[in-house]
A and B are shown apart, each in its own frame.
Chain A
């Protein structure tokens, strides 16, 4: 009787650890499938040709070009542009919510900001195409508003909730004594924030920014719809561009399985996977260190 019960317990615990293993297997599976397909591209192309080639034209009848430099630069432009918008706004809003706002305001505003994260990206892309792009084209006298500038604004809005939410958590996790000591020395609230809280929370704020960076690099729908889809080497923020994510989404439906083109798209996926993996890993380390530093 009791051994039968023990057996049942054993079986149940094995079932739960098996479901746990699925998460691990998934991550490994994603890496393996990207890697085994993507790496094949390099049996035809040299890494220099792929990463530093200035022209991407895989469908050319004669002499197709396999360089992703313009796509990489496009991704870097969107990431940079969106963070220039999102970091100052995000950290300012986090300071307001954590240190200045009354609790009743915070209770209302925080969920509202988190709702932005819940708006499907295709909806933001749609608004970019229909409303923001024409407005930008008018404002700057451009023939089309579908460019790096417009898509940076929308991607910036998309990563804003991530940066606000994590920065606010970081600031609120700082010990109360920090605030009291600063104020007791006669500092104004802003002096206290600037000289005590921001330096103490700096690494955590950096981690929040990195997580925002990871989201901006991986964003697909907004750049697919709003960035303008030009493979030419970008020269300014008012040029139409095509980041890596958009390029994968556009071309994956047209390619033949196991062709070189198919393999290069997976190689791009591998680049994205590696970048976001690294960014998340670093921000994770920073956050853990920050939490440990002020745990007492």
Chain B
């Protein structure tokens, strides 16, 4: 009696565990399928012309996605300029300076909520504040500011983690030698945390470069016959280009070109992620505490 019950409990367990394993590997398979589908057709259109020629609207096979690639890279740089100094500064404030008061708690609450706001809302904010109120127009700088604001909470959270990982004794040792707060931060905290802050920032920026909804609202351009020459120029971007090709272009070749553009976008974020991986791997070997 007891024995049969145990067997049935065991087989119940086996069935449940099999289900959990299947659920996990379903997720992995999905990711694999995503890459496979994009790669299968996307790789066929990628060649040197596709990457380096200007976009040709009438016959898309004549042109390439160079302006969208350049636009996305510029956008990534703009986001970095906006969000890295403010994000890292805020993290240093929260982890090193802030006392546990209302101001600090409000900032922390604000950051958590900013991270949960849908990206299209950032688009509406960017449109009403940067594009219309500050009159920056549908420009690279307006889009960089919008995406930069969206990226802030990610960078702050990652940088705080990096600062928290530096042992308290590093700070105490520096104070004991008579160093001031800023001397301590600069000499004993930042050298041990900059890599974590940098990798967190790069991941945030690579996510921002893949965002489409905010730049639909603040206004990316689908067709430009020149490259942006100033921050106040219009711009093309890879995710927006993918979106238009997938949904609004009538050419029979649009499908392949949409997948090709998506593949370039994935590769771009993959390169950034690979950089992060390499930095982390190199520094992990150097850490001694």
Given A9-B180, A23-B90, A96-B17, verify A118-B206 contact (CB < 8 Å). Answer: yes
A193 to chain B, nearest CB (A): 8
- Decide: A34 and B113 in contact? CB cutoff 8 A: no
Nearest residue (CB) in B for A257 is: B132
Smallest CB-CB A-B distances: 3 pairs: A218-B118, A120-B210, A19-B89
A122 to chain B, nearest CB (A): 4
Residues of B within 8 A of A20 (CB): 89-90, 93-94, 98, 103-104, 107
Nearest residue (CB) in A for B262 is: A123
A interface footprint on B7-43 (CB within 8 Å = 1, 0 otherwise): 0011011001101111110111011001001100000
Residues of B within 8 A of A129 (CB): 246-247
A64: Cβ under 8 A from any B Cβ:
no
Nearest residue (CB) in B for A129 is: B246
Given A23-B110, A24-B106, A26-B149, verify A127-B243 contact (CB < 8 Å). Answer: no
- Which of A9, A26, A100, A121 gathers the greatest number of chain B CB atoms within 10 Å? A26
- Decide: A122 and B210 in contact? CB cutoff 8 A: yes
A248: Cβ under 8 A from any B Cβ:
yes
Residues of B within 8 A of A265 (CB): 124
Total residues of chain B contacting the partner, CB 8 A: 85
Point out residues on A near B: beta carbons under 8 Å.
5, 8-9, 12-13, 15-17, 19-24, 26-30, 33-34, 37, 88-90, 92-93, 95-97, 100-101, 109, 112-113, 115-116, 118-127, 129-131, 157, 160-161, 164, 188-191, 211, 214, 217-221, 224-225, 245, 248-249, 252-253, 257, 265-266, 269, 272-273, 276-277, 279-281, 284
- Decide: B90 and A37 in contact? CB cutoff 8 A: no
Chain B stretch 82-107: residues in CB contact (< 8 A) with chain A: 85-86, 89-90, 92-94, 96-98, 103-104, 106-107
Residues of B within 8 A of A253 (CB): 216-217, 219
In the bound complex, CA of A280 to CA of B246 (Å): 33
- Decide: A122 and B152 in contact? CB cutoff 8 A: no
- Decide: A92 and B128 in contact? CB cutoff 8 A: no
Chain B stretch 126-168: residues in CB contact (< 8 A) with chain A: 127-129, 132-133, 149, 152-153, 156
Knowing that A16-B89, A265-B124 touch, tell me 10 more A-B residue pairs with CB under 8 angstroms: A12-B181, A16-B93, A21-B107, A23-B114, A24-B106, A34-B121, A112-B31, A116-B34, A129-B246, A269-B124
Given A19-B85, A122-B239, verify A221-B212 contact (CB < 8 Å). Answer: yes
- Decide: B119 and A123 in contact? CB cutoff 8 A: no
In the bound complex, CA of A280 to CA of B133 (Å): 29
In the bound complex, CA of A17 to CA of B107 (Å): 10
In the bound complex, CA of A131 to CA of B34 (Å): 10
Partner of B212, one of A33, A116, A121: A121
Instruction: Sample 28 A-B pairs with CB under 8 A, ordered by A number.
Output: A13-B181, A17-B98, A20-B104, A22-B86, A23-B107, A27-B110, A34-B121, A34-B125, A37-B128, A89-B23, A93-B20, A118-B203, A118-B210, A120-B269, A121-B210, A123-B262, A129-B246, A164-B27, A188-B9, A188-B13, A211-B116, A218-B118, A219-B118, A225-B247, A252-B217, A279-B116, A280-B112, A280-B115
Nearest residue (CB) in A for B20 is: A96
- Decide: A9 and B181 in contact? CB cutoff 8 A: yes
In the bound complex, CA of A86 to CA of B124 (Å): 29
Given A13-B181, A257-B132, verify A220-B28 contact (CB < 8 Å). Answer: no
Residues of B within 8 A of A266 (CB): 124, 128
- Decide: B26 and A89 in contact? CB cutoff 8 A: yes
B60: Cβ under 8 A from any A Cβ:
no
- Decide: A115 and B266 in contact? CB cutoff 8 A: no
Residues of B within 8 A of A252 (CB): 123-124, 127, 216-217
Given A23-B153, A113-B28, A188-B13, verify A249-B118 contact (CB < 8 Å). Answer: no
Residues of A within 8 A of B258 (CB): 126, 130
In the bound complex, CA of A224 to CA of B243 (Å): 10
B198: Cβ under 8 A from any A Cβ:
no
B131 to chain A, nearest CB (A): 10
B42 to chain A, nearest CB (A): 10
- Which of B31, B203, B265 gathers the greatest number of chain A CB atoms within 10 Å? B31
- Decide: A272 and B13 in contact? CB cutoff 8 A: no
In the bound complex, CA of A112 to CA of B34 (Å): 12
- Decide: B34 and A12 in contact? CB cutoff 8 A: no
- Which of B110, B133, B258, B265 gathers the greatest number of chain A CB atoms within 10 Å? B110
Given A26-B149, A126-B262, verify A190-B13 contact (CB < 8 Å). Answer: yes
In the bound complex, CA of A276 to CA of B246 (Å): 29
- Decide: A218 and B114 in contact? CB cutoff 8 A: no
- Decide: A30 and B10 in contact? CB cutoff 8 A: no
- Decide: A276 and B243 in contact? CB cutoff 8 A: no
Partner of B120, one of A93, A112, A272, A281: A272
Nearest residue (CB) in A for B128 is: A33
Given A30-B121, A127-B38, A218-B121, verify A115-B246 contact (CB < 8 Å). Answer: no
